[in-house]
């Protein structure tokens, strides 16, 4: 009787018993023939494994199949798992049957072509089949998965919000306009206002969805479309909000460290779980730092990108910059009673030059105060109708934040540019593939 063949994924093959008959399906990563012996490395969604076919052992049709299998062809490999010190990972499959399921044409990404970063992004639909991209996406997957677990554990409800909106959350200059049945609407920059409405129904809410920014800045940390994690809680102040953020970031980091050591190794990255609480430095202290670096900036301006980068470089762990001037923040920010120009807000900054990961703050809960703010900033009150309305029907103190998924992934994976943290990045110069 023929022994049972188990269909396994590559990772399971490394955990299985040697001598077992298995089938693996995947793609041909590399291939090498030495006389009557053909070696291939086959990749699936879980890893890479060497397979070897020996003429005289494997049937002739299978020998023909493996010899004709081009790089990136989709294949089925049946055979016996063997221990082999020379094979990567110490195991290989000795082929008894090799079938090409879908033959690939000549792979266009040559070693020379791969030297051009922009070419690799032109053919991103193909170039994503690399160890580094897979490692980055698995880290990203941990970031998102850990976030779901963190908020569930803390009793937050995941909500949804529209992407077609009528009001700017983060200022008009980065809005994408869309034609909507003869009317001009925008793509959402942030779901914050919807969260603020939802908290009166659910108290603690969070959301995970795309955000759109017409950022003209071509920097290593800006995308035009990205995924944002946002959370908002009722009966909370800015210290509560900061505790929630640092808890989340250290939880995410622990998950990545524990679950993705192989992927971190592929990326050449070492990270450690940052202990809480994180260090806090004030905006005023950042100005002192900038002055010492001979890069002074006026009180009231946003922290210049280069200053943020330098102060981030000077840190080994994530930290907060607190107490931004109102002039550097959106209109909805709560200020200190004794310092009307200073907001109860903070940016969470990654170390090593990576910069901002999150922005959060306490919101104005009072109708009159918010209306006054909208007027003093010459904003169109009618555009904020329902947002203002919320303040008429029981709006307690509340605070929240937004954290960019690709920013966090970029930092954890140690990527030079944020585009690598997105499978199909959107930037000012790229909307394809």
List residues binding ligand 4AD (CB under 6 A): 169-170, 189-190, 192, 213, 215, 222-223, 226, 228, 230, 356-360, 400-404, 406-407
Minimum CB distance to Mg ion, residue 347 (Å): 6
Report the partner that residue 358 touches, choosing among ligand 4AD, Mg ion, none (CB closer than 5 to 8 A by kind).
ligand 4AD
Nearest approach in angstroms of CB 246 to ligand 4AD is: 14
Q: Does 359 bind Mg ion (CB under 5 A)?
A: yes
Residues contacting residue 100 through CB under 8 Å, at least 6 positions apart: 65, 68, 69, 73, 74, 75
79, interface contact from Mg ion, ligand 4AD, none, CB < 5-8 Å by kind: none
CA 200 to chain centre: 29
Cis amide bond preceding 433, omega within 30: yes
Q: Which does 325 bind (CB under 5 to 8 A by kind): Mg ion, ligand 4AD, none?
A: none
- In angstroms, the CA 154 to CA 150 distance is 6
Question: With left for phi above 0 and alpha for psi between -120 and 50, is residue 294 left, alpha or beta?
Answer: left
- Which H, E and C letters describe 296-322, residue by residue? CCCECECCCHHHHHHHHHCCCCCEEEE
Query: Among all chains, which residue has been given the structure tokens 């209306």?
Result: 371
Indicate which of ligand 4AD, Mg ion, none lies near residue 73 (CB less than 5 to 8 Å, by partner kind): none
Q: Report the Cα 175 to chain-centroid distance in Å.
A: 22
**Phi, psi for 212 (deg, rounded to 5):** -125, 135
What does 404 bind: Mg ion, ligand 4AD, none (CB cut-off 5 to 8 Å by kind)? ligand 4AD
SS3 373: helix
The backbone region for 130, taken as left when phi is positive above 0, alpha when psi lies in -120 to 50, beta otherwise, is beta
Q: What is the DSSP letter of 105?
A: P
If you ran DSSP here, which 8-state letter would residue 55 be given?
Answer: B
Q: Which is nearer to Mg ion, 52 or 359 (CB)?
A: 359
Three-class SS state of 395: coil
Q: Nearest-5° angle of CA 31, CA 35, CA 41?
A: 20
Give the nearest distance from C-beta 406 to ligand 4AD in angstroms.
Answer: 6
CB-count burial class (<10 Å; 0-12, 13-18, 19+) for 430: middle
Query: By CB under 5 A, which span of 64-72, 286-294, 301-309, 357-365 interacts with Mg ion?
Result: 357-365
Q: Which is nearer to Mg ion, 26 or 361 (CB)?
A: 361
Residue whose CB is less far from ligand 4AD, 267 or 357: 357
Shortest separation between residue 402's beta carbon and Mg ion, angstroms: 7
Nearer to ligand 4AD, 190 or 209 (CB): 190
Which of ligand 4AD, Mg ion, none lies near 334, with the C-beta cut-off 5 to 8 A by kind? none
In 181-333, DSSP assigns E strands to 183-187, 204-212, 225-234, 279-282, 319-322
Cβ proximity to ligand 4AD: between 73 and 359 the closer is 359
Residue 231 burial (CB count, 10 A): 30
- Indicate the residue whose CB is closest to Mg ion: 359
Nearer Cβ to Mg ion (136/359)? 359
Q: Judged by CB under 5 A, does residue 241 bind Mg ion? A: no
| Cβ at position 402, least distance to ligand 4AD in Å | 3
The interface partner of residue 226, options being ligand 4AD, Mg ion, none and the CB cut-off 5 to 8 Å by kind, is: ligand 4AD
Query: What does 401 interact with, of Mg ion, ligand 4AD, none (CB < 5 to 8 A by kind)?
Result: ligand 4AD
Site residues for Mg ion per CB under 5 A: 359
């Amino acid at each position: 009787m023929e022994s049972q063949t188990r269909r396994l994924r590559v990772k399971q093959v490394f955990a299985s018993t040697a001598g077992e008959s298995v089938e693996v399906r995947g793609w041909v990563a590399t291939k090498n023939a030495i006389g009557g012996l053909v070696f291939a490395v086959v990749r699936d969604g879980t890893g890479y494994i060497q397979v070897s076919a020996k003429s005289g052992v494997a049937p002739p049709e299978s020998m023909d199949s493996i010899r004709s299998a081009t790089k990136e062809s989709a294949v089925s490999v049946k055979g016996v798992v063997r221990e082999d010190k020379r094979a990567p990972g110490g195991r290989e499959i000795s082929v008894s049957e090799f079938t090409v399921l879908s033959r690939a044409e000549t792979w266009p990404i040559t070693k020379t072509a791969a030297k051009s970063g922009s070419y690799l992004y032109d053919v991103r639909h193909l170039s994503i089949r690399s160890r580094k991209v897979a490692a980055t996406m698995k880290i990203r997957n941990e970031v998102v998965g850990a976030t779901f677990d963190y908020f569930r554990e803390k009793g937050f409800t995941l909500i949804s919000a529209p992407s077609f909106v009528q009001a700017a959350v983060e200022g008009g200059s980065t809005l994408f306009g869309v034609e909507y049945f003869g009317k001009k609407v925008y793509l959402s920059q942030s779901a914050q206002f919807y969260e603020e409405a939802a908290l009166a129904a659910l108290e603690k809410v969070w959301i995970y969805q795309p955000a759109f920014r017409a950022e003209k800045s071509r920097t290593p940390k800006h995308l035009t479309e990205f995924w944002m994690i946002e959370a908002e809680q009722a009966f909370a102040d800015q210290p509560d909000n900061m505790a929630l953020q640092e808890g989340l970031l250290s939880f995410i980091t622990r998950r990545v460290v524990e679950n993705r050591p192989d992927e971190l190794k592929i990326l050449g990255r070492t990270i450690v779980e940052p202990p809480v609480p994180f260090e806090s430095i004030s905006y005023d202290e950042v100005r002192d730092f900038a002055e010492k670096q001979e890069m002074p900036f006026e009180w009231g301006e946003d922290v210049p990108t280069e200053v943020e980068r330098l102060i981030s470089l000077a840190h080994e762990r994530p930290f907060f910059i607190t107490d931004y001037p109102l002039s550097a923040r959106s209109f909805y920010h709560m200020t200190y009673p004794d310092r009307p120009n200073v907001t109860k807000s903070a940016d969470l900054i990654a170390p090593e030059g990576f910069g901002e990961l999150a922005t959060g703050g306490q919101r104005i809960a009072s109708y009159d105060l918010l209306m006054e703010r909208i007027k003093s900033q010459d904003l169109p009150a009618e555009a904020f109708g329902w947002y203002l309305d919320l303040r008429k029907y029981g709006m307690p103190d509340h605070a929240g934040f937004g954290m960019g998924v690709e920013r966090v992934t970029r930092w954890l994976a140690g990527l030079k540019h944020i585009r690598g943290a997105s499978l199909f990045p959107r930037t000012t110069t790229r909307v394809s593939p």
